[in-house]
Amino acid sequence: MGRTEGRAYERAGVDLEAAARTLDLIAREVESTYTPGVLRGLGAFGGLFELPAGLRRPVLVASTDGVGTKTVLARRYAHEPGVLEGIGRDLVNHCVNDVLVQGAAPLFFLDYVASERLEPEATARLVSGVASACREAGMALLGGETAEMPGVYREGEFDLAGTIVGVVERDAVVDGSRVRPGDAVLGLPSGGLQTNGFSLARRALEGRFDDALSDGTPVWRALLAEHRSFLSAVRPLLERGLVRAMAHVTGGGLPGNVPRSLPEGCGVRLRRGSWEVPEVFALIAAAGAVAEEEMYDVFNMGLGFVLVVGRDDVEEALALAPGALPVGEVVAGSGVAVV
Amino acid sequence: MGRTEGRAYERAGVDLEAAARTLDLIAREVESTYTPGVLRGLGAFGGLFELPAGLRRPVLVASTDGVGTKTVLARRYAHEPGVLEGIGRDLVNHCVNDVLVQGAAPLFFLDYVASERLEPEATARLVSGVASACREAGMALLGGETAEMPGVYREGEFDLAGTIVGVVERDAVVDGSRVRPGDAVLGLPSGGLQTNGFSLARRALEGRFDDALSDGTPVWRALLAEHRSFLSAVRPLLERGLVRAMAHVTGGGLPGNVPRSLPEGCGVRLRRGSWEVPEVFALIAAAGAVAEEEMYDVFNMGLGFVLVVGRDDVEEALALAPGALPVGEVVAGSGVAVV
């Protein structure tokens, strides 16, 4: 039935005045994302979104995802400013990248927040992060569900998942079919773990979250670094028709994600050292005695998003996509080799 | 990144052969739902769905929901045939009804399954239920996420949420604007709790789940009765343009849901006894010493879906909608009175 209302807070023994203020705040955050497609004042049970006019053969691209156990670390540092908001942004940016891979522009988003007990303030901080990332992506936060699940979640823990719907013209779907050996592979830096590998990272670094990296950043902050949206970097390349394939480097790392975007008979060779592997990955490997192969299987190792462009388009692509790096090439074969 | 793959099962210590069989089963279940809109073989990161041709002003209607703590009871009786599958069906049918309220036909669905530890067989049973209800609704299961969240969920517990996207023509959106005092209210029986009120029901009936109702049905089975889809009952009325407003009776019961579908200045009066209140509600009220007002605030009390039609259309509507009952009328005022 959507966001939890006053009556449910009352039964849960929550301070009603505080809950009302929080619900107002959430409502304002949600409304701040509304794009022209949203039909306001309708949709007591579902959100209504009118498709933009003028589409020829619209294909909807949809994806559901969660932020994994990044939530557990976020809860421990929830007293720090921006941490819960950051988890909300992580979720949205993750989903934006997942539909971007097919060339889709985001239309709307729906979130799902569940916990042992209703915590209006924490929920408001999560939703406020979700809303801010939606605004940046030009996407409406069309709906959401807040669930109280006593007996299901551990005390104080929560889960956050979401669903994105984007749109792309049928003939603009990026499907990898134009990829050929010799094409160039560009990478966009992740800056951290994004939202994958947190169960392993927590096991490896337990007790060391408050240590500092060499630049003074606390380990917990490096681990919670935002899952970046690659929409603004990639959009200019899409508009110029330069992109032959894309992969979002999530669970499964480079070997688990890049091959899915390539046609049969193509693999990629990445040049070690052509991008920076953030320090936090070396720390996880050392503290957890994790072999390099497993590190690459679990983590993005510093590349959040990978694009394939024609060899002759590299210069133009690098000029258009801020932050992109030439990291390798497409080869005959299969899989991902880091050499 | 979607359904969990072999690599993750390996790390989780799951029997790999069994996991592979299960993943095959899930893949077949998912494919069995594919409608012509699904673009197969594309969409490594998101699902692709081409909108039906010929729509004039398509409005997408989307909703995210969970099944609440019905999961806790389902887990206890998971050894009984059909119980986990039933939870999957509950989720889909709940969402189908949520977009039906605005007049929308289902297009596609995405599920989210999360638990402490990967349990391939349980996941397959849940997804198989999701898929069967999707097939019945003529809707594609376009995507899904399976998340392992150690440290977040209690041992053995799981959560199941999902997102539906449906479509309706702009001028066919059912928005309550034609509702007038004197209109008739029809109800569709729920047959049970649907997916709301389980935390209260479990508190009230703890230790009595294996008791029998007067017809011999065990209490647990009555509690787990399927959340019905009202799509097939309501569609003929929509096609004839007979429906002025609809409400899906979920969390918040009749008083929390019916008024949201009505225009300012209208309330409804329902006739006590015009529909059957299933025995399980009386049992909850007695065992938990729950006052009648709270019962109506939490549970659907036997009405799963409510429709408003013109007074002169009642006979035709009742003939077209199998199972519908005349249960009351629209009155000047506000709220819901049961008299």
**Cβ–Cβ of B256/A39 closer than 8 Å?**
no
> Residue B256: in which H helix or E strand, if any?
helix B253-257
Q: What is the pLDDT of residue B212?
A: 97
Find residues 116-175 of chain B whose CB sits inside 8 Å of chain A. Answer: 142-145, 147-154, 157-159, 161-166, 170, 173, 175
Average pLDDT over residues A240-268: 96
Give, in degrees to the nearest 5, the angle at Cα A157 between A154 and A159.
115
Using alpha carbons only, give the angle A337, A305, A123 rounded to the nearest 5 degrees.
Answer: 135
Q: Are A83 and A74 in contact (CB under 8 A)?
A: yes
Bridge partners for B165 per DSSP: B62, B108
Would you say B174 and B97 are in contact if contact means Cβ atoms under 8 Å apart? Answer: no
Give the residue-averaged pLDDT of A15-22: 76
Identify each DSSP E strand in chain A by its residue range: 47-50, 58-66, 105-115, 140-148, 158-169, 184-189, 243-248, 266-270, 303-309, 325-332, 336-338
Count Cβ atoms below 10 Å from residue A72 Cβ, excluding itself.
19
Give the mutation candidate from A42, A152, A254 for the B interface (greatest B CB count, under 10 A): A152
Examine the pLDDT at B10 and tell me if it is beyond 60.
Answer: no
Question: Which pLDDT belongs to residue B68?
Answer: 87
3-state helix/strand/coil string of A179-248: CCCCCEEEEEECCCCCCCCHHHHHHHHCCCCCCECCCCCEHHHHHCCCCCCCHHHHHHHHHCCCEEEEEE
Mean pLDDT of A103-124: 92
More confident residue, B3 or A314: A314
CB B140, CB B34: distance < 8 Å: yes
Q: What kind and span of H or E run contains A177?
A: none
pLDDT at A73 over 90: yes
Q: Does B45 touch chain A (CB under 8 A)?
A: yes
Tokens of B44: 């490594």
Q: Residue A14's pLDDT is what? A: 62
* DSSP-derived 3-state class of residue B180: coil
For B40-65, what is the mean pLDDT? Answer: 89
Average pLDDT taken over every residue of chain A: 93
Span of A9-13, A19-23, A61-65, B271-275 with lowest mean pLDDT:
A9-13
- Does A59 sit within 8 Å of B49, measured CB to CB? yes
- Would you say the C-alpha torsion B91, B94, B100, B102 has a positive or negative sign? negative
CB contact under 8 A, B45 and A63: yes
What is the value of ipTM here, to two decimals? Answer: 0.93
Amino acid letter for position B100: L
**H/E run at residue A27:** helix A16-31
Given the structure tokens 């005092």, which residue do they identify? B181
Nearest partner of B5 among A225, A311, A196, judged by Cα: A196
Spell B60-72 as b/e; 16+ CB within 10 A means b. bbbbbbbbbbbbb
Split at pLDDT 50, 70, 90, the class of B156 is confident
Q: Is A244 left (phi over 0), alpha (psi -120 to 50) or beta?
A: alpha
Q: Give the whole-angstrom CA distance, residue B165 versus residue B59.
A: 10
Q: Is the model's pLDDT at B152 over the cut of 60? A: yes
Write the Ramachandran bin of A24: left for phi over 0, alpha for psi from -120 to 50, otherwise beta.
alpha
- What pLDDT sits at residue A190? 97
Q: What is the pLDDT of residue B172?
A: 95
| pLDDT value of residue B120 | 85
Set of chain B residues whose Cβ sits within 8 Å of the Cβ of A65: 1, 145
Q: Does position A234 have pLDDT exceeding 50, yes or no? A: yes
Q: How many helices (H) and strands (E) does chain A have?
A: 12, 11
Higher pLDDT, B21 or B253: B253
Contact with chain A for residue B249, Cβ under 8 A: no
Characterize the bridge pairing of strands B303-309 and B243-248.
antiparallel
pLDDT band for A262, please (50, 70, 90 cuts).
very high
| Phi, psi for residue A199 in degrees, rounded to 5 | -65, -45
Q: Which DSSP letter does residue B154 get?
A: P
By C-alpha distance, which of A229, A243, A98 is closest to A172?
A: A243
Give the pLDDT band of residue A131 (cuts 50, 70, 90): very high
CB atoms within 10 A of CB B226: 19
- Give pLDDT, residue B14: 61
Task: Delineate the domains of chain B, giving CATH numbers in brackets.
Answer: 6-172 (3.30.1330.10), 184-338 (3.90.650.10)
Q: Return the pLDDT at B42.
A: 67
Mean pLDDT of A243-267: 96
Tell me the helices (H) and strands (E) count for chain B, helix number first. Answer: 12, 11
Q: Does B64 touch chain A (CB under 8 A)?
A: yes
> Do A163 and B64 count as a contact with CB atoms less than 8 A apart?
yes
A64: nearest CB among B101, B112, B260: B112
Q: State the burial class of residue B156 (Cβ atoms within 10 Å of its Cβ: 0-12, 13-18, 19+).
A: middle
For residue A1, pLDDT over 50 is answered with no
CA angle A140-A146-A147, nearest 5°? 150
Whole-angstrom distance, CA of residue B24 vs CA of residue B263: 49
Average pLDDT over residues B177-206: 96
Mean pLDDT of A98-118: 94
Residues of B in Cβ contact (< 8 Å) with A159: 114, 147, 149, 152-153, 159
Q: What is the mean pLDDT of chain B?
A: 93
Q: pLDDT tens-digit profile of B269-321?
A: 999 999 999 999 999 999 999 999 999 999 999 999 999 999 999 999 999 99
The pLDDT value given to residue B93? 98
Per-residue confidence (pLDDT) for residue A19, from 0 to 100 = 74
Q: Residue B116 in contact with residue B155, Cβ under 8 Å?
A: yes
Q: Are A182 and A311 in contact (CB under 8 A)?
A: yes
Q: Which two tokens stand for residue A51?
A: 């498709």
Residue A90 is which amino acid? D
- Tell me which residue in B39, B143, B261 faces A44 most closely, judged by beta carbons: B261
pLDDT tops 80 at residue A322: yes
- Give the single-character DSSP code of A39: -
